[in-house]
Structure 1
Amino acid sequence: MPSDIILHVVEQMDTETRENFLATNNGIRRLIESYEHSISKNRATTFTLPPLGNVLSSSASERRLLRKNTFAMVREIELRDNRIDRLIRECPRIFCLSAPPWLPCLTVQQQARLWLILKRALYQCDRIADIAANISDPQIPPEYYHAITDRVYEWPSALSSITEAEFEFNPLTRPNARPKQIEYIESLPLEDIAGIFILVNMLGYGLTCICSDTGYERKTIIEECVLRHGTWFVWSRLRGDQSMQELAGCIISAGMAELKQWETGAIYGPPGLKMRLTRRFNELAGGATSDEVILNIEKLLEKLVVGDDKPPAGWESDCDDEE
């Protein structure tokens, strides 16, 4: 078989199929491995939103940097895509498609449309999280993960006394990536901002309801964690093993500590991502008064989800097969 045909076929394969194919012939293995960059780049374009650069791993508690356009990156995108579909399908109490926050009761067609919006929004949150893999010093040294188990990041009193390096390399909040993450959020079009707004509010309400503490602060931090960590955090909280669920709890506690210290002026740092998301949505929605802004937001959200039952231009629904 000609090499160009082999390479074209391999681009359509998932990781498991490709690895099985590699095992059949050493010549094929050498050919495919020599074209890893182009195969991975083309494979990435088949997903909802291809990565913009390096990505963070999400198969374990310690997130590793995975270089762009590599087979490791493709494996990570496949993992995320599978988890996103499973989360929406298997967690109806959290992803309430029939009557989501801010929206009326939805028809079956509108629920399918919302599925697409939520999936794209989770992909966008993963892009936001992956910005931490594309800044200077993106790889967090292991000792800063060890600080998690020492609860350094979870108590306001401890947070106020940490070193500058401990603050910058905090794997639970990644403040050194925040300015670029805010810049990315502010570059998004209205439909993506609205979709992410629906997602984080849905997860904020849903995950807060299954916590013992149902206060507003906890909801705010959960929404912030979704924006900072994407699918990795949501999966850890809802479908992860015991260690991953404990880590998700640490992430929330660290966010609470940071919020309290930031609000009191005890620590200096960039503003939260949810704050910037909301402000950007308000700017795009427009309105002379706060009541007008809220009314415009409600109309925009309803139009996005209910609309004419057609997805926005360029959005292709792949949720029909999941139902």
Structure 2
Amino acid sequence: MATFSQDLILEIAQHLDAKSLFKLCQTSKENNMLLKTYERSLSQLRLANFPVPPPGDVLSSELYLRRPIKHGSFRMLLELENRKSRVKEILTASPHFNLESPPGLGELTNPQQERLCAFLYRAFAQCDYIADIAANAPCGPPGVQWYERRCMRWWGGRDLVEGFRLKDPYTNYPARPSQQEYIRNLSKQDCTMIYYLIDMMGSCFIKSREDWILSDPVFYERITVFKECVLRHGSWYAWAHFMGGSEWESMTNDIARIGIAELDSFECGDKDAMCSLQSVLIGRFNELHKSPGNRTKAAQHAAKYLITADIDDSDNGDQEEGEDQDE
């Protein structure tokens, strides 16, 4: 039986996706031991393929459950690749989002659509980063038992038992200060595209729930909560709602009920209720855009510029203009 050198196996491994790496591990005991020895370094090499490397451990994307996945593992790579696939599915296959004419951007050419996808993918990756903050010390994560569906009955109103409120993994108060600090330090471009993404997700949510508008007394609160959940939980939550099927959609509805309870408790002035991540994002957006009167239009205008302007030509034009003024 032909054998390959370890150097050749490692060279091949550098070019494989996570699923193929797992299959390569299964080809022989020797290959498995070799790849496990170099698992961390191989994983680190692949992180360059993702626009926003994770802060450490990452959260799994399971039904009603998010467990920490060790940083530098093949399973981490698999999770990141799955996120990328889910975002692509949301942007290209969802019946509620039209990439050719996205909200406020008009008709886009194919190159502009590709550029928009790249920006939105990075924005989703930023939301996933915010979610992953909760997987690392000192933020958590909460114990697996707090994800059990039997606890959902406690989350029906704002008068939650404090222990449940503090340990609820979908609210995740212990991670909130670190997540807020990350948002406060976003660059102008990242803040703009995250804001546009969240606003766009709100529009898609309305389209997916058009039959609720007249009959649901808290419909507009649901829009706010949905946008907060996408910002807080990232592509896991957005994919579950738009593409995941009935069980996943049921999960997002349960999480939304928790979000409405949290929103109600904050608006009623409960002393232990923290402000939302969305409010921090709005504050950062206002700061970077000098408190625009209409944030939605400002975000759409800025996003339109990013995907249509030739940045290199713009930079050269600014430089030439400055030289003319000097003369």
TM-score interval (norm. to shorter) = 0.7 to 0.9
Choose from 232, 243, 246 the match for 1:228: 232
Q: Pick closer, same or farther for the CA change 1:136–1:167 going to 2, 3 Å.
A: same
What one-letter code is carried by the residue in structure 1 that aligns with 2:81?
E
Where does residue 198 of structure 2 map in the other structure?
Answer: 200
**Amino acid of the residue matched to residue 21 of structure 1?**
L
CA distance in 2, matches of 1:148, 1:264: 27
In the alignment, which residue of structure 2 is the partner of 1:284? 288
| Aligned residue type for 2:305 | K
Given the alignment, which residue of 81, 84, 87 partners 1:84? 87
Name the CA distance, whole Å, in 2 between partners of 1:296 and 1:63.
35
Q: What's the CA shift string for 1:18-44, capped at 9, x where partnerless?
A: 122222222221111111111111122
Q: Secondary structure at the match of 2:197?
A: helix
Of 214, 219, 225, which residue of structure 1 is paired with 2:223? 219
Q: Would the alpha carbon gap of residues 137 and 187 (structure 1) be closer, same or farther in structure 2, given more than 3 Å must change? A: closer
Which residue among 64, 71, 75 is the counterpart of 1:61?
Answer: 64
Encode CA deviations 1:162-199: one digit per residue, 9 max, x unaligned. 12x31121122212111111111111111111111111
CA distance in 1, matches of 2:197, 2:263: 21
CA contact (8 A) 1:160 1:266 kept: no
Q: 217-226 vs 236-245, which deviates more?
A: 236-245
Distance 1:83 1:299, change over 3 A: closer
Where in structure 2 are there 5+ consecutive unaligned residues?
214-218, 316-327
Larger Rg over CA atoms = 2
Specify whether residues 101 and 293 from structure 1 end up closer, same or farther in structure 2 by C-alpha distance, changes over 3 A only.
closer
- Pick aligned residue for 1:22 from 16, 21, 25: 25
Give the RMSD, CA atoms, in angstroms: 2.4
> Is 1:38 paired with 2:41?
yes
Percent identity, aligned pairs only, is: 32
2:310 — aligned with what? 308
Who is 2:324 aligned against?
none
What is the 5 A alignment of 1:1-323? 1-93=4-96, 95-136=97-138, 138-146=140-148, 150-153=152-155, 155-156=156-157, 159-163=158-162, 165-211=163-209, 212-214=211-213, 215-286=219-290, 290-291=292-293, 297-308=299-310
Deviation at 1:148, TM superposition (A): 5.8
Q: Distance in 2 between matches of 1:24 and 1:143?
A: 36
Residue identity opposite 1:17 in structure 2: S
**Residue 2 of structure 1, CA deviation:** 4.1
C-alpha displacement at 1:294, in angstroms? 7.1
Q: TM-score of the superposition, structure 1-length normalised?
A: 0.86
Deviations 1:201-256 (A, max 9, x none): 11111112322444322211111000110011011111224322111111111111
Give CA deviations for 1:262-315 in whole Å, capped at 9, x if unaligned.
11113523211111111111110115xx538777545423212322388x99xx
Specify the code of the residue in structure 1 equivalent to 2:125: Y
Secondary structure of the residue aligned to 1:45 is helix
Per the TM alignment, residue 89 of structure 1 is displaced from its structure 2 partner at its CA by: 1.1
Given that 1:56 and 1:130 are in contact with CA atoms closer than 8 Å, whether structure 2 keeps it comes out as yes
Residue identity opposite 1:195 in structure 2: M
Measure the CA separation in 2 of the matches of 1:297 and 1:205.
Answer: 14
Q: How many residues align?
A: 305
Which deviates further from its counterpart, 95-104 or 258-267?
A: 95-104
What are structure 1's unaligned runs of at least 5 residues?
314-323
Change (3 A) 1:218 1:188: same
1:316 paired residue number: none
